[in-house]
Structure 1
Amino acid sequence: MIFVLLHVLIVIAVGLRILLRQNRQPDSRAAWLLVVIALPYIGAIAYVLLGETDIGHKRVARMQKVMAGLPRPDAAPGWDAPGNAAAIPELYRPLFAVGRSISGYAPVGGNSARLMANSDAAIDEMVADIDAAQDHVHLLFYIWLTDHNGTKMVEAMKRAAARGVTCRAMVDAIGSRDMTRSPDWAAMTAAGVHTAIALKTGNPLLPFLTGRIDLRNHRKIVVIDNRITYCGSQNCADPAFLPKAKFGPWVDAVMRFEGPIVRQNQHLFCSDWMVNVSEDLSALLRQPMPPAHAGFTAQAVGTGPTVRHSAMPEMFENLMYAARRELFVTTPYYVPDRAIQAGLCAAANRGVDTTIIFPARNDDFAVGAASRSYYEDLLTAGVKVWEFRPGLLHTKSMTLDGEITLIGSANMDRRSFDLNYENNILLADPATTAAMRARQQDYLGQSREVTLAEVENWGMGRRLWNNTLAIAGPVL
């Protein structure tokens, strides 16, 4: 009798918490309730540890304090120079309004960008820019490995620090745990590089104090001298990505930016740094802007568990509904909410030439299977689905109508939507979009098209596997 009563009390207590939690989608509530009802003890523990996107009361308080005192990018002298005025086609102004509602960053003109040739070239250019740095270098990576490219970056940071450049390097506690435990990390610190670890894991049994342990900083940000920034999908690692070499090479896309957009990425870095380190970087954001030059409009979009709920999927959805002629998407991890799936299908249904490329082999078997559970609906709507064959296509990109590009760190899955800190750049420029679209076309040439007939012929076992794993998507 006591056992039954305890069972009922656990289900009621945790069930009420699930139903009362803010910003929870109905399908997520239903999934968690099913878990708790079916496995009340295991389910209750799982919900306490993994059911809520809370980074901990102390972190929230510190973040609020940092953000309240940190100067905004547009407060810098010279921000309002005529050359920095945003020029956005009327059709796409709502997209930048959405971006501004997320991070507070206004779209700004006067920017230029180059798409890096490949992952090794991206690291080489970053190293060259670090070697030319005169004032400061800021690096933030989710994963930083002690491989060839990783150690090249370590040595570049040590050289810069040795000649008096202020160098700051921050990594995610889980994603870069091997680096932070390595002699390379200690050597950088000894050489004068300021190092920091984001989102250190606390006691998993006290998530209300230390935060959910699997909330991660997935951003990839490089800022040099308030003059150059990089944005894209690439971690600081070789394309071979040795921890998961059998899925390699990792295929990424990175852009090198100059112009006022640099200050927005700088603001993102400074906010992350100051939340984790007791050092005020406000002076960097107050430095006068360099002379304005002609260039395109861009905007940084930073999201995370402490940013407005469903911010990144809302950005994706608005881009999908804005497309009039062509929509092209690449993402390695696709476990969408209903709105994302509906947005892609709606684009194809209204006659937009809609293409999406996934990896043929995914390093996360559950995500790979869950992704395929959505193929039939996409294909029925007319979305062209392709699978990239030579390695793991890790590029997160979206282009539309030859004019708009979104590039950055965010995937189209629940983790990027709710659990990770992410950074993307939205830009309006035909030339830069053409470069990104050409890269997407190159990926297409290395991919295999998936047909509706093929998916309809999948066996019952494969369908059961894919659909069963897709059910776990809402359980966050």
Structure 2
Amino acid sequence: MWVALHLIAQAAVILRVLLRPHRNPASRISWVVVVLAVPVAGILGYLLLGETSIGRRRAERMRQVRAELPAPPTAPADLPERHAPLFRVGESISGYPACSGNAAALLPDSNSAIDALVADIDAATDHVHLVFYIWLPDGNGTKVAHALMRAARRGVACRAMVDDLGSKLLIRHALWRDMAGAGVRLGRALPIGNPLLRPMAGRIDLRNHRKLVVVDGVITWCGSQNCADPEFRVKPRYAPWVDVLLRFEGPVARQNQHLFASDWMAWTDEDLTPLLTAPMPAPGPGFPAQVVASGPTSRHSAMPEMFQSLIYAARRELVVTTPYYVPDDPLQAALCAAANRGVATTIVFPARNDNWAVAAASRSCYAELLAAGVVIHEFEGGLLHAKTLTLDGEVALVGSANMDRRSFDLNYENTILLADAATTALLRDRQAAFIARSRRVTADEVAAWPWQRRLWNNAVAVMGPVL
């Protein structure tokens, strides 16, 4: 009887795998193999981790909030025709059009970025909004928390949201209670609650991976950096974490304000609509930019489509840095196609990755990339955590999204797409600095890997759609 019940359960789950919309064939095959090969555990694994659902109530709440928010004011962008399609892709993902009149600054390192952010908070006159996936009660995390408390005490409306899992150390720390006591309004995205009951309300590992700050509606920060020291003491053996955090001024800040409001109102009871209907200063001179935000409740394949569009648009040079590379087939093919058509294509990974599965899956892709002519570097000065893409010295993408299936399907991410030669040059110079601290990987080196290493990398990569 138990065997018969198990076979019926297996058949039912496999049928669901095959009928589930928006699942690529590789993912279907991987889950069918897991369900057949691992009795009971395979079925439970799919039920817990096989579908990107945050729960019907939560999904409906997020859709309702998004539908009721007023559209952010825009400054019409004068885009070159060659760039306009890229921004149309971004607008199709999260609804934010390209807006002109923006300026950007790139700080030298993580600590100086935090110091500049604290200075912005200290100069705030109306409000400060923050979202961080990981916020630690360490040196930099404490600096930002104290700046928020100072601002709240002088009457500035301060709102801080963290991911319930990524920032669990802060939530349990006295610093969290101190911020609340000082008048900082706090929010927790995707609360876990009882881990045993949580899967019944949606997949537990769907997370808010965003990192953004908005000050007075005119300044915004966006990048890969969490609110923490670069020593990242929860994983010190991989330190320092090497990040990029850009400071923007201009209309793109109002788009990040809109994104923050959608997160805040989805997980708290406070209505931020008045902030989004307030008049916006007339934009000054500056470049076009656009917020591109994605997540499990966005349309399917949003972030990989953005990456692929940028890669296929490259004509001369394409440089990418990403810590986590577990691509789907179209993304891998796009990078190979760029190199094959003569684009100088470079990608930089960390030499030591804090995720062993991602490291193995990434390296399973090396041989094909190198054969196409992609130049691969492995950064040796810590864990390169920066997620950047520069295109032909004219267009750049920076933010929280990795080139992996977690960022594609499971995480809420935020990035900014911009078209500006000067800002792209700043990011390109930073990428060059990363490359200077990296070791180039050669095709001969990869071909000489022992069969055991190749077997391990490829076996892990096969499980990529499941992982």
TM over 0.5: yes
Instruction: Work out the CA distance in 2 between the residues paired with 1:241 and 1:209.
Output: 33
TM-score of the two chains, using structure 1 as the length reference:
0.97
1:350 aligns with 2:341: yes
Greater than 3 Å deviation, 4+ residue runs: 202-209
**SS of the residue aligned with 2:276?**
helix
Note the C-alpha offset of 1:340: 0.6
What residue is the counterpart of 2:441 in the other structure?
450
What residue is the counterpart of 1:299 in the other structure?
290
Note the C-alpha offset of 1:7: 2.6
* Alignment check: 8 A CA contact 2:213 2:222 kept: yes
What residue is the counterpart of 1:138 in the other structure?
129
Note the C-alpha offset of 1:265: 0.4
Note the C-alpha offset of 1:8: 1.6
Cα displacement string for residues 128-180 of structure 1 (whole angstroms, at most 9, x for unaligned residues): 00000000000100000011000001100000000000000000000000000
* One-letter code aligned to 1:11: Q
Note the C-alpha offset of 1:89: 1.4
What residue is the counterpart of 1:52 in the other structure?
51
What residue is the counterpart of 2:84 in the other structure?
93
* Alignment check: 8 A CA contact 1:172 1:197 kept: yes
Instruction: Work out the CA distance in 2 between the residues paired with 1:311 and 1:355.
Output: 23
**SS of the residue aligned with 1:40?**
coil
Superposition RMSD in Å: 1.0
What residue is the counterpart of 1:427 in the other structure?
418
Instruction: Work out the CA distance in 2 between the residues paired with 1:352 and 1:446.
Output: 23
Instruction: Work out the CA distance in 2 between the residues paired with 1:255 and 1:5.
Output: 58
Cα displacement string for residues 260-308 of structure 1 (whole angstroms, at most 9, x for unaligned residues): 0001100110000000000000011111111220110000000000001
Map 1:252-331 → 2, pairs under 5 A:
252-331=243-322
Map 1:27-426 → 2, pairs under 5 A:
27-74=26-73, 79=74, 84-203=75-194, 209-426=200-417
Instruction: Work out the CA distance in 2 between the residues paired with 1:100 and 1:218.
Output: 20
* One-letter code aligned to 1:315: M
Instruction: Work out the CA distance in 2 between the residues paired with 1:68 and 1:96.
Output: 22
* Alignment check: 8 A CA contact 2:322 2:403 kept: yes
**SS of the residue aligned with 2:465?**
coil
* Alignment check: 8 A CA contact 1:54 1:208 kept: no
**SS of the residue aligned with 1:243?**
coil
* One-letter code aligned to 1:54: S
Note the C-alpha offset of 1:40: 3.0
Cα displacement string for residues 380-407 of structure 1 (whole angstroms, at most 9, x for unaligned residues): 0000000000100000000010000000
**SS of the residue aligned with 2:288?**
strand
**SS of the residue aligned with 1:229?**
strand
**SS of the residue aligned with 2:258?**
helix
* One-letter code aligned to 1:221: L
**SS of the residue aligned with 1:171?**
strand
Residue correspondences, number: 467
What residue is the counterpart of 2:7 in the other structure?
8
Note the C-alpha offset of 1:208: 6.8
* Alignment check: 8 A CA contact 2:351 2:378 kept: yes
Instruction: Work out the CA distance in 2 between the residues paired with 1:106 and 1:208.
Output: 36
* Alignment check: 8 A CA contact 1:85 1:110 kept: no
Note the C-alpha offset of 1:465: 1.1
* Alignment check: 8 A CA contact 1:203 1:210 kept: no
**SS of the residue aligned with 2:413?**
strand
Instruction: Work out the CA distance in 1 between the residues paired with 2:352 and 2:186.
Output: 35
* One-letter code aligned to 2:63: Q
* Alignment check: 8 A CA contact 1:161 1:167 kept: yes
Query: Percent of aligned positions with the same letter in both sequences?
Result: 61
Note the C-alpha offset of 1:323: 0.1
* One-letter code aligned to 1:104: G
* Alignment check: 8 A CA contact 2:390 2:397 kept: yes
* One-letter code aligned to 2:156: V
* Alignment check: 8 A CA contact 1:54 1:207 kept: no
* Alignment check: 8 A CA contact 1:105 1:300 kept: yes
Instruction: Work out the CA distance in 1 between the residues paired with 2:200 and 2:234.
Output: 32
Is there any run of 5+ residues in structure 2 with no aligned partner, and where?
none
* One-letter code aligned to 1:23: H
Instruction: Work out the CA distance in 1 between the residues paired with 2:200 and 2:448.
Output: 50
* Alignment check: 8 A CA contact 2:293 2:414 kept: yes
Instruction: Work out the CA distance in 1 between the residues paired with 2:237 and 2:160.
Output: 29
Instruction: Work out the CA distance in 2 between the residues paired with 1:110 and 1:118.
Output: 26
Instruction: Work out the CA distance in 2 between the residues paired with 1:37 and 1:108.
Output: 51
- CA distance 1:126–1:157, shift in 2 (3 Å): same
Note the C-alpha offset of 1:201: 1.2
Note the C-alpha offset of 1:126: 0.5
- Name whichever of 343-352 and 84-93 sits farther off: 84-93
* One-letter code aligned to 1:190: G
What residue is the counterpart of 1:469 in the other structure?
460
Note the C-alpha offset of 1:5: 1.3
**SS of the residue aligned with 2:234?**
helix
* Alignment check: 8 A CA contact 1:56 1:207 kept: no
**SS of the residue aligned with 1:90?**
coil
Is there any run of 5+ residues in structure 1 with no aligned partner, and where?
none
Instruction: Work out the CA distance in 1 between the residues paired with 2:363 and 2:306.
Output: 23
* One-letter code aligned to 1:383: V
Instruction: Work out the CA distance in 2 between the residues paired with 1:72 and 1:201.
Output: 31
* One-letter code aligned to 2:424: T
Instruction: Work out the CA distance in 2 between the residues paired with 1:88 and 1:269.
Output: 26
* One-letter code aligned to 1:171: V
Note the C-alpha offset of 1:230: 0.3
* Alignment check: 8 A CA contact 1:357 1:386 kept: yes
Instruction: Work out the CA distance in 1 between the residues paired with 2:150 and 2:302.
Output: 39
Instruction: Work out the CA distance in 2 between the residues paired with 1:162 and 1:202.
Output: 31
